[in-house]
Amino acid sequence: MKRTIPGLRTLRRLYATFFLLLFLLLLFAGDFSRMQGYDIPLFLELDPLVAFSGFLTSVTVYKGMILSLAVVIPTLFLGRFFCSWVCPLGSLHHVTGLGLFTHRPSASHAANSYKPMFRWKYHLLTFFLIVSLLGGMQAGLLDPIALLFRSLTVAVLPMLDGLGLSVYPRTPVFQGGLLIATLFLLILAANRFMPRFWCRVLCPLGALLGILSRFAPLGIQRDVDLCSHCNRCLHHCQGGCDPHAAWRKSECHLCMNCIADCPEGALRYGLPKSRSSIHLPLDLNRRRLLETAAASLVMLPFMRRSLSSVTTDLPTIIRPPGSLAEEDFAKRCIKCAACMRICPTNALQPTLLEGGWEGIWTPILIPRVGYCEHHCVLCGRVCPTGAIRAIAVNEKIGQKPFDTPIRLGTAFFDRGRCLPWAMDIPCIVCEEVCPTSPKAIWYRLITISNRDGVSVTLKQPYLKPDLCIGCGICENKCPVGGEAAIRVSSIGESRSTTNRMLLKASP
């Protein structure tokens, strides 16, 4: 028996390495700089927390999210295997813990035994699920896959590119990248004090899987007769699930280290036998949990009365093409930044507080940084939750069978800054780059007498609002630095029925 058991740890290591490499490979393969890449949001679709909160917000399991059942169903039988066998963030924490934590037996036995603070994650999960029920998708803030994808996209990859590892043809910049980097480094650094701090204490997906594994028949079984109470099983324990005493099923990641470390052969994975030690259920106080639920519920009326992109049409909240109407968008977007990874012009940026507190890290288009490429529809193809619909190019640009293009907003001239309007200087770069045909930007030829009394002929630009798609290339290329002389705001966006100004429907 002892010969076969170390095999499980080796197997776990192989799986974890494979999935971590696969995750990184897919992240790198999502590069469309030459229009040849792979738009595979596989890991986000495998994520049961994303699928479940999405189900609570919008009563549907969107397309590929059904894949999450491939994690849910085995968890019901096997336990919380995802965390140490599949989760790339879990593997990253595992490796970081190996490097940062002092693995002296006395220290690791103390750090790896169960602590009441491990309950926090269940309270966080409760909060996220209650908020989901109320129509707000906030699980993405701490969902490990979304968090990892976001941190790598917004902070780590641009940093690596800046260091000389060529990831992009043009190094992107992201607003608030430093904040996301700091949080990411902090959760990694927490392994210095307790291995897998994130997984044990904070991870809401871990909590969900812990609950799902509650009735799993299989588990770590300790033979009370063989056990000599040496506590070596705690030495490399990842879950903090007390295999040395009464095993806590919902905390265990099935890392199998305890089985490999046991000198007596007292531990094994399987069904309980007559001399197997007892298991402990979820260590949760129902009253405390109800308090958290009530506290989350109480947030709703406040949320409904806060100025946010859901309660008000905000001019700077310009969403990617194909985005759902804002209320539905808020129900779907998990802030994973997959769209920002794939956007070829770096136009898509994580919001800070522009859309209200609940909108943090959702994607908006900032035309000064980049514009929406006329024929590009990649963001919708990688969005795992359908917050940005997968659209075809002809739908986006309004070619047959579609009769209107998808508008992101409308551009407005600032005549006080525009060179031909304010300073008698020829320009119309905006007209040159306008991608619609016929162009939304046009000009009047005027002859005026300038300050010195010399007659000059100028082309003064105008905008035809029903032709403008709000792509923002005019604002992006406007030579007036700082605040451009033509700026896009979200009004006129196709996805909204309220954020409109024209009485007549566009042709």
Partner 1 sequence: MSQHSEKKTPQKVQATWSRRRFVERMGVLAGVSTVLAAGGLWIRGSEPVRHRQEEIFKLKDFRVPESSRHPILAIVHGNHVESMVREAFNTLGGVERFIQKGDRVLLKPNVGWDRLPEQAANTGPELVASVARLCREAGASRVWVTDVSLNDPGRCFVRSGIEQAAQQAGAHVFLPGKDDFRATDMGGKLLKVWPVNRLFHQVDKVINLPIVKHHSLSGCTLAMKNWYGIIGGRRNQLHQDIHTSIVDLAAAVRPTLTIMDATRVLKANGPTGGSLDDVVHHETILAGLDEVALDSLALGHLDLTPDKIPFLALAEARGLGRVRWQDLNRSETRV
Angle at alpha carbon of residue 501, lines to 498 and 503, rounded to 5°: 100
Residue among 336, 434, 485, 491 that touches partner 1 (CB under 8 A): 434
- Residue 170 engages partner 1 in binding (rule: CB under 8 A): yes
In terms of Cα–Cα distance, which of 246, 250, 249, 266 is closest to 258?
Answer: 266
- Residue 432 engages partner 1 in binding (rule: CB under 8 A): yes
- Residue 169 engages partner 1 in binding (rule: CB under 8 A): yes
Q: In angstroms, give the least distance from the CB of 375 to partner 1.
A: 6
Q: In terms of CB distance, is 236 or 439 closer to partner 1?
A: 439
Q: In angstroms, give the least distance from the CB of 387 to partner 1.
A: 23
Residue among 47, 242, 431, 475 that touches partner 1 (CB under 8 A): 431
Query: Do the beta carbons of residue 197 and residue 187 sit within 8 Å?
Result: yes
Query: Do the beta carbons of residue 5 and residue 265 sit within 8 Å?
Result: yes
Q: What would the 3-class secondary structure string for 456-476 be?
A: EEEEEEEECCCCCCCCCHHHH
Q: In terms of CB distance, is 209 or 488 closer to partner 1?
A: 488
- Which of the ranges 80-88, 164-172, 203-211, 379-387 carries the binding residues for partner 1, by CB under 8 A? 164-172
- Residue 398 engages partner 1 in binding (rule: CB under 8 A): no
Give the whole-angstrom CA distance, residue 386 versus residue 61: 10
Cα distances (angstroms) measured from residue 301 to each of 298, 304, 312: 7, 5, 15
Query: Do the beta carbons of residue 367 and residue 171 sit within 8 Å?
Result: no
- Which of the ranges 250-258, 297-305, 310-318, 373-381 carries the binding residues for partner 1, by CB under 8 A? 373-381
Q: Tokens 């908006």 appear where? A: 364
CB contact burial 287-304 (16+ within 10 A = b; e otherwise): eebeebbeebeebeeebe
Q: In terms of CB distance, is 221 or 476 closer to partner 1?
A: 476
Q: In terms of CB distance, is 161 or 223 closer to partner 1?
A: 161
Cα distances (angstroms) measured from residue 46 to each of 62, 142, 208, 379: 12, 16, 14, 19
- Residue 435 engages partner 1 in binding (rule: CB under 8 A): yes
| Window 436-475: residues binding partner 1 (CB under 8 A) | 436-439, 443, 459
- Residue 345 engages partner 1 in binding (rule: CB under 8 A): yes
Q: In angstroms, give the least distance from the CB of 266 to partner 1.
A: 51
Q: Tokens 């986000």 appear where? A: 44
Residue among 304, 375, 415, 464 that touches partner 1 (CB under 8 A): 375
Give the whole-angstrom CA distance, residue 314 versus residue 491: 8
Q: In angstroms, give the least distance from the CB of 351 to partner 1.
A: 23
Task: Mark 179-218 with x for binding to partner 1 (rule: CB under 8 A) and - for no binding.
Answer: ----------------------------------------
Other Cβ atoms within 10 Å of 479 Cβ, number? 11
Q: In angstroms, give the least distance from the CB of 50 to partner 1.
A: 30
- Residue 425 engages partner 1 in binding (rule: CB under 8 A): yes
Residue among 115, 119, 192, 374 that touches partner 1 (CB under 8 A): 374
- Residue 426 engages partner 1 in binding (rule: CB under 8 A): yes
Q: In angstroms, give the least distance from the CB of 120 to partner 1.
A: 44
Angle at alpha carbon of residue 91, lines to 89 and 96, rounded to 5°: 95
Query: Do the beta carbons of residue 128 and residue 53 sit within 8 Å?
Result: yes
Q: In angstroms, give the least distance from the CB of 368 to partner 1.
A: 13
Q: In terms of CB distance, is 35 or 163 closer to partner 1?
A: 35
Who's near 202: CB < 8 A, 6+ residues apart?
120, 121, 124, 142, 187
- Which of the ranges 97-105, 134-142, 151-159, 369-377 carries the binding residues for partner 1, by CB under 8 A? 369-377
Cα distances (angstroms) measured from residue 436 to each of 194, 375, 414, 475: 57, 11, 21, 15
Q: In angstroms, give the least distance from the CB of 67 to partner 1.
A: 30
Query: Do the beta carbons of residue 140 and residue 146 sit within 8 Å?
Result: yes
- Residue 408 engages partner 1 in binding (rule: CB under 8 A): no
Give the whole-angstrom CA distance, residue 119 versus residue 284: 7
- What is the total count of residues that contact partner 1 (CB under 8 A)? 33
Q: In terms of CB distance, is 35 or 501 closer to partner 1?
A: 35
Task: Mark 27-56 with x for binding to partner 1 (rule: CB under 8 A) and - for no binding.
Answer: -----xxxx---------------------
How far does Cα 403 stand from its chain's mean position? Answer: 33
User: Where does this chain bind partner 1 (CB under 8 A)?
Assistant: 32-35, 169-171, 344-345, 373-376, 419, 425-429, 431-439, 443, 459, 477-479
